[in-house]
Amino acid sequence: MTRVLIIDDSSFQRKIISSILTAEDYEIISAQNGLEGLKYLAGDLPDLMVLDLLMPQMDGIEVLAEMRERGIQVPVIVLTADIQDSTKQKCIELGAARFINKPVKKDELSATVREVLGVKGA
């Protein structure tokens, strides 16, 4: 089963994303901040990560930078309510695969996940 790590400080967003992806038979792991999320990247890696950009303690850019420093290669979809071009460029440089604007829309999330994972029908 394909495992997806969701890192978002909003429990509401984690629940929405989790319910959408669980309905499509993805196994969900969730973390409420970047520090907690990085712990899940120390062992058996997920197949994909959905990462909020703005979080306390450790934001999405810091998570991406830490992943790069550790040599962790997991495709990442970045969530954001509003992103500036410079921030988007920094995320791309650090390995972000795609971006989704909040609020998350079911069809957009599903299609983006399939696309990033290389699943047919994306």
- Work out the mean pLDDT of the chain and round it to a whole number: 94
pLDDT for res 120: 54
3-state secondary structure 21-63: HHCCCCEEEEECCHHHHHHHCCCCCCCEEEEECCCCCCCHHHH
Is 55 within the bounds of a domain?
yes
| Cα distances (angstroms) measured from residue 85 to each of 91, 94, 96, 103, 122 | 10, 14, 14, 19, 26
The maximal CA–CA distance of the chain, rounded, in angstroms, is: 37
In a domain, 121, yes or no: no
CA distances (Å), origin 86, targets 64, 69, 97, 103: 15, 21, 16, 21
Q: What mean pLDDT is predicted for residues 27-33?
A: 97
- pLDDT score of 121 more than 60: no
Residue 122 pLDDT: 46
**Domain total for the chain?**
1
Q: Does the pLDDT value for residue 20 go beyond 80?
A: yes
Give residue 111's domain range. Answer: 3-116
83 falls within a domain = yes
Output the six-digit token pair for 98: 């795609």
State the average pLDDT over residues 45-63: 96
Q: Is residue 60 part of a domain?
A: yes
User: Pairing between strand 27-31 and 3-7?
Assistant: parallel
- The reply to whether 94 falls in a domain is yes
Q: Rounded distance, CA 23 to CA 45, Å? A: 21
Q: Give the chain's radius of gyration (CA, Å).
A: 13
d(CA 20, CA 3): 14
